[in-house]
Structure 1
Amino acid sequence: MTVRPISVKLVVQVLRGVAQVDFMPSAVCGLFFVAALFAAGWQYGLYGLLGSAVATAAGYGLRLRRDAVETGLTGYNGCLVALGCAVFLGPGHLATVVVAVLGAVVSVVVTAGLGALLEGRGLPALTAPFCLVATAVTVAAPGFRRLWPADAGPAALPVAASGGTGLGWDQFWRGFFANVGQVFFLPQWYVGLLFLAGLFAASRLAGLMACVGSATALLTARVFGAPAEAVEQGLLGYCGVLVALALCGVFVAPDGWSAAYAVLGAAAATVLTPALGAVTAPFGGHAFTWPFVLTTLLFLAAVPAIPRLRRI
């Protein structure tokens, strides 16, 4: 057998870490995702790769389960942490790089800790490690001048939704792709299109369920009168995409019943997103992927009690 150079193996594992943000242990999918990040801005591409690489290296350094490291399960939270630092704190500061690296390492420890707590209940950690680290960073950031610019001003208190609710066709299709891109905090429709292409390259079912989740989120937001601008930017629909992926094909066996269950979960996560945004408004209003985490964990916990559904 021909042994591939260790550098190639590590590159594959880092790419898998990026792809595992959407549950895909595929380096090809990771390539699409990295291309999408660079399409949004070269800094975002570098931060995403940095976070996954640091978290993967930390997984090896801490001697975590080798199969988990190799399939990217230690890298995806680090990828999100680093990318979140770039998006919410600004990518051009040395302090942001330092926090991104430290946060990526901490996310690995938190992932291991949550895994140990949830393993007995058969529940995954999902992106909860990222959410915990990112929430801590954004809450702490205003206390550090190198992280929070003096002219950024105080965070706002919750306010009622404003703006028109009429959703034109252009806003609808842009919002459809933006929902996929906002999983990585990026609102550009063409970035979401690249992410969706990566999902289809890894799994047609995953690509289809991402579409179902995005469409469900759009319709839910439209029915309840969400501001059209927020819908167009994908600010309400990204958790619906992740929930749909999780509940049909990733953690629950795919069939008609789980597809319907995924639609219900995606709608619930869409409603929960502005609620958590209001709760977190005093420190920036960043719901991150908490709506996805809470909805998915509750829906997965209910699966054993529902005879129509079967865990994978």
Structure 2
Amino acid sequence: MNGISQVILIENAVTGLFVLAGITFANYQMGIITLACALLGTWIGHACGADRTAVMQGLFGYNAVLTGLALSLNLAGGHRWWLALAGAAASVFITAAMMYVARNSAIPVLTLPYILLTWLLLLSPYHLGFFKISESLVPQDLSRVEFHREGTIQLLDGLIDGIGQVYFQQNIWASILILIGIFWAGWRLGLYAVIGTVVAWVTAYFLETEITFLNLGLYGYNAVLTILAVSAVFGSGHRLTGLIGILAAVFTVPVTAGLSSWLQPYGLPALTMPFVLVTWLVIGAREKFSRI
């Protein structure tokens, strides 16, 4: 369960159970793959002799969970489930390698192993026929992309799903269960998550994004992860920490838009790369600015 909750930077088994319940409620197949990948990642870490504390904290499970979910949703064909499990297993070794490389650095690995592995595997169908990519991931020429601002705003769905989308959930009840799990781990964590999705929604709205993206919560999840990381998990304890977290959450919106445009010709989703980049920037800046 810690491997599931660590996706949102929380080490709490009950939180992981709430998240698993929410995912399973929305789609039982996704619930199964989530649990299987968490088990697989934790077992590999233990079997390969990783530090027991790190294994128990779920640090070898969260990238496996995200990789399994991403591949099962974005690959096509009946064997995508086995590919999802294989990808989840591979992410554990990549996580371990990156943790070793960054061992003397203040910069955390975060979800980078999952991002890089998922991008590589989603690009492989163009040269490897065994892999079949989902029809939803279609490379687009930026010069021909059409912008559609029109639509009816679904405020509550957009705000709540901004939290659920951390686990690829577009279901209000699944997202609510995930939010309850965050509040279970700590009311401040829950408050930060709410602030993150609200700030991202408002920022994206005033920057005139497409209404569809607002309703799906696609600008919220990176902001939620970023504010949790910057203000809570890797917070400096300074009185400006909360404000820095909010500003970082705001910054994820243009970063998400820019990365999405950059990846559009390859048909790749931005995933949690905006969260990783913005969090790294803030942590790096703190090494030079002692008051943030």
TM range (shorter): over 0.9
Q: Return the offset for 1:193.
A: 1.3
**Structure 1 residues 122 and 48 mapped into 2: Cα distance closer, same or farther (>3 Å)?**
same
Question: What secondary structure is seen at the aligned counterpart in 2 of 1:120?
Answer: coil
Change (3 A) 1:301 1:196: same
Q: CA deviation at 1:71?
A: 0.8
Write out per-residue CA displacement over residues 3-60 of structure 1, whole angstroms, 9 at most, x where no aligned residue.
xxxxxxxxxxxx1100000011111000100011112201110111111111111111
> How many pairs does the alignment contain?
291
Aligned mate of 1:124, from 108, 111, 116: 108
TM-score by length of 1: 0.88
Q: How does 1:72-111 map to 2 (within 5 A)?
A: 72-90=58-76, 93=78, 95-111=79-95
* Residue 194 (structure 1) aligned to one of 170, 177, 201: 177
One-letter amino acid of the counterpart of residue 202, structure 1: A
Q: How does 1:23-102 map to 2 (within 5 A)?
A: 23-90=9-76, 93=78, 95-102=79-86
Partner residue, 1:113: 97
Question: In the alignment, which residue of structure 1 is the partner of 2:246?
Answer: 263
The CA distance in 1 between the partners of 2:42 and 2:248, in whole Å, is 31
Distance in 2 between the 1:161 and 1:197 partners? 37
The correspondence for 1:249, drawn from 205, 229, 232, is: 232
**What's the Cα RMSD here?**
2.0
Deviation, structure 1 residue 186: 1.8
- 1:272 matched to 2:258: no
Q: Superposition pairs for residues 130-145 of structure 1, below 5 Å?
A: 130-145=114-129
What is the CA deviation profile of residues 79-110 of structure 1, one whole-angstrom value per residue up to 9, with x for unaligned ones? 000011121125x72x2122212211211111
AA in 1 matched with 2:4 = V
Q: What letter corresponds to residue 98 of structure 2 in structure 1? A: L
CA distance in 2, matches of 1:63, 1:253: 32
The change in CA–CA distance for 1:66 and 1:307 in structure 2 (over 3 A counts) is: same
Structure 2 counterpart of 1:267, one-letter code: V
Identity of aligned residues (%): 29
Render the CA deviation track for 1:172-216: whole Å, top value 9, x for unaligned: 221111111111112222222111111001111111111111111
Structure 2: runs of 5+ lacking an equivalent: none
Does the Cα contact within 8 Å between 1:200 and 1:206 map onto a contact in 2?
yes
The Cα shift of 1:141 comes to: 3.0
- Which of 111-120 and 127-136 deviates more? 111-120
Report the equivalent of 1:177: 160
AA at the equivalent of 2:186: S
- The answer as to whether partners of 1:18 and 1:72 remain within 8 angstroms in 2 is yes
